[in-house]
A and B are shown apart, each in its own frame.
Chain A
Amino acid sequence: MATLNLVHLYPTVLNLYGDRGNITTLSRRCAWRGHELRVHDLNMGEAFPEVEVDLVFIGGDQDREQGVVVDDLRRGHATRIEALVADAVPLLAVCGGYQLLQKYYRPAEGQDLVGLGIFDAHTLHPGHEVARRVGNIVVAWERGTIVGFENHGGRTFLEGGTAPLGTVLKGFGNNGEDGTEGARVANAFGTYVHGSLLPKNPELADYILQLAFARRYPDVSLAALDDGLEQQAHEVALVRAQERL
């Protein structure tokens, strides 16, 4: 039995759109294989957990909540998170969390929010009169399709050859213009896909877990699980995206 440590950034503030389902999925898929995922919450004003970090997760929330955490994140933990990413620790950032880890976010009104710059990208909000990017989404990535739902006002633009997580097959993705969705830097993944993201995309969940195990437990290989129900939900989402967009 192996133990992994996951740090969940601001779970009490950034938890819209079923973000918790991602943690539940990583945790259950470890447990069903006889391993343990320990989840360490990092909330506002707290010190970074004193553990060997194997995984990092950050979700999203309303604009107000994101404004609340950005200072705490930048002042308190920027160096630590940069070092973890440089050390190939897998990190998953969804929606608002993805935006916070970019260089900056320019809201519809008010000042730019300066982010961590983990992803060489920025996000512009075109104004509240412009339609949000809402709907079912399908993304092609190196191991198949990612399905889910997107709901974001901001448009994200990747810079300097930053690799996207995948290519949009249905939906909008980063900005609805260039066909890219999400970003990948080292083992850090940013995406707009929720739904939750990981339950219906077990290949991505296991890929992230495999990267984490490979760093600390190179001998552990992940046993196959019965993903019949996951595949069924995945296929329903594929059909929905075809019908609706």
Chain B
Amino acid sequence: MILAVGAAKATSVLTRTTGRGGGTALPGLVALHVDPHLVEKLAGQLAEGSVLITGTNGKTTTSQMLESILRSAGLAPLRNRSGSNLLRGIASSLAGEAGVLGKLSDEVRLALFEVDEAAMPGILRAVKPRRALLLNLFRDQLDRYGEVATVARLWKDAVAALDPSAQVIANADDPLIVDAVSGSAAPVTFFGIESTAAPTSGMEHASDVKACPRCGGAMQFDVVFLGHQGHYSCSHCDLRRPTPEVSAREVVLDGLNGSKFVLRTATAETEISVPLPGLYNVYNALAASAGALSLGLSTERCSAGIRATRAAFGRMERLEVGGRTVQVALAKNPTGLNEIVRTVATSPEPLHLLVMLNDNTADGHDVSWIWDADIELLGGRLESVCFAGGRAADMALRFKYADLLDGKQPPKWSVIFDTESAFRQALAWTPAGARLFIIPTYTAMLDVRGLLTRAGHLRAYWEEG
């Protein structure tokens, strides 16, 4: 282990000094090669244990919110960096806090690990978290993960093997999650939205639950909040939405500004202001609150921490560039893109977009998913749109077949594969004082963020935190 930690540290210094990115995953990869049990050994030294956060969408923002809540209570949790969410990323973050003798610093008592949904079962076994926070499961990168049902099955086995002293915090509104935790060896606390006044869109096209995940029977939804998340029951077996112990009530969305809801538990009720827009961020705030409550914090702490949350890396992150507001909104799967489209459409101004579609391994090689997203919601709202990334033409085609590029007042539009040229064109088309939304896939987000960092608008991501 001593060698492993040393190897990780040396690699980290090397990757940063050679300018090859943040050094967030490679050191861990090297360290795990030297000692495959490194994560188990280091994670076992955390006095307060760790919280594992996983799901298709919302991992990074939920971790950000939970960290903010913990910091408002004077705690300083260790976190793995966004995007470094495989075992090696966790090894890197732990090794970074360990001395060369393999002893974790005493100041590091608690860790928050955001974890890739497909890697979750393996990481669960290595890290042995005290708490596992399960957010949602949507179709994402089918070429890498296989079907959603496959991931759900892996989760079910992993949760069944949890230590009974652990605690599972799970989304009651997602039938795939509820079925996955049904055999949990550890106690389960559910969170969910109780507000029937919450904005709903009806069943989206990209819904992943048409048949009951347990028996294949027809699922009935009384209300759908987002994707397949809502209030449901199976018409055939006993799978139904459990009553959540931690709930969001009286949800009110306030366009791009954020939202408000009442956080309720068996013993407390507190109003929460979420500074990030969209119903999906209500879910993130609710999940972070449920996680904080399970760590013994109060609903008031949750409120203070969430109010102070800054947008995470590329998640509705906002900056000023040349007198324009630029907002970067990662969208990497149909449910995510639907939520971004729905949120962006609440802007009262005409829309200026830079949409970036890559098909690298981290994005998924298959770009079919863009046809499952409801781009049509942008009808009549576009003033300019640039398409960039390796699959820019595919995305432009999606907009064309949504009838968004012609009509009586067609927007200015252009396919520019190169990130820098596309950004320059998009910015030129955005009037001074107006807002440009950049909607990238994962590696496109890294590209555009790299561009903004080099231009001095953002700090490098490994310097944050």
A, B from the same assembly? yes
Which residues from chain A sit less than 8 Å from chain B, CB to CB? 12-13, 15-21, 24-25, 28, 44, 61-65, 67-68, 132, 134-136, 149, 151, 194-196, 199-200, 229-230, 232-233, 236-237, 240, 244
Pair A21/B148 contact, Cβ less than 8 Å: no
Choose among A16, A24, A64 the residue that contacts B211 (Cβ–Cβ < 8 A): A64
Whether, in the assembled complex, B367 has its beta carbon less than 8 Å from a beta carbon of chain A, the answer is yes
What residue of chain B has the Cβ atom nearest to residue A10's Cβ? B210
A-contact 0/1 string along B347-367, CB 8 Å cutoff: 000000000000100000111
Choose among B142, B359, B372 the residue that contacts A20 (Cβ–Cβ < 8 A): B372
CA gap between A19 and B149 in the complex, in Å: 19
Interface residues of B in 392-434 (CB under 8 A from A): 393-394, 396-398, 400-403, 415
Pair B401/A232 contact, Cβ less than 8 Å: no
Q: How far is the CB of B453 from chain A (nearest CB, A)?
A: 28
CA gap between A229 and B397 in the complex, in Å: 7
Pair B371/A149 contact, Cβ less than 8 Å: no
Whether, in the assembled complex, B320 has its beta carbon less than 8 Å from a beta carbon of chain A, the answer is no
Pair A18/B372 contact, Cβ less than 8 Å: yes
Interface centre among A61, A151, A240 (most CB of B within 10 A): A151
Can you list 30 A-B contacts with CB-CB less than 8 angstroms, sorted by A residue number? A15-B205, A16-B139, A16-B142, A16-B147, A17-B366, A19-B371, A20-B205, A20-B371, A20-B372, A24-B401, A28-B403, A62-B148, A64-B149, A64-B211, A64-B216, A68-B216, A132-B146, A135-B365, A149-B143, A151-B142, A151-B143, A194-B366, A194-B368, A195-B366, A195-B367, A196-B371, A199-B394, A199-B401, A237-B394, A240-B390
Task: Given A62-B148, A64-B149, A149-B366, decide whether A233 and B371 contact each other with a Cβ distance below 8 A.
Answer: no
Which residues from chain B sit less than 8 Å from chain A, CB to CB? 139, 142-143, 146-149, 203, 205, 210-211, 216, 218, 359, 365-372, 390-391, 393-394, 396-398, 400-403, 415
CA gap between A61 and B366 in the complex, in Å: 15
Pair A229/B205 contact, Cβ less than 8 Å: no
CA gap between A232 and B400 in the complex, in Å: 13
B residues in contact with A200, CB < 8 Å: 394, 397
What residue of chain A has the Cβ atom nearest to residue B406's Cβ? A32
B residues in contact with A151, CB < 8 Å: 142-143, 366
Pair A15/B372 contact, Cβ less than 8 Å: yes
B residues in contact with A149, CB < 8 Å: 143, 365-368
Closest 6 CB pairs of A and B: A18-B371, A21-B371, A18-B368, A233-B393, A232-B393, A62-B147
B residues in contact with A240, CB < 8 Å: 359, 365, 390
Q: How far is the CB of B442 from chain A (nearest CB, A)?
A: 17
What residue of chain A has the Cβ atom nearest to residue B144's Cβ? A134
What residue of chain A has the Cβ atom nearest to residue B396's Cβ? A229
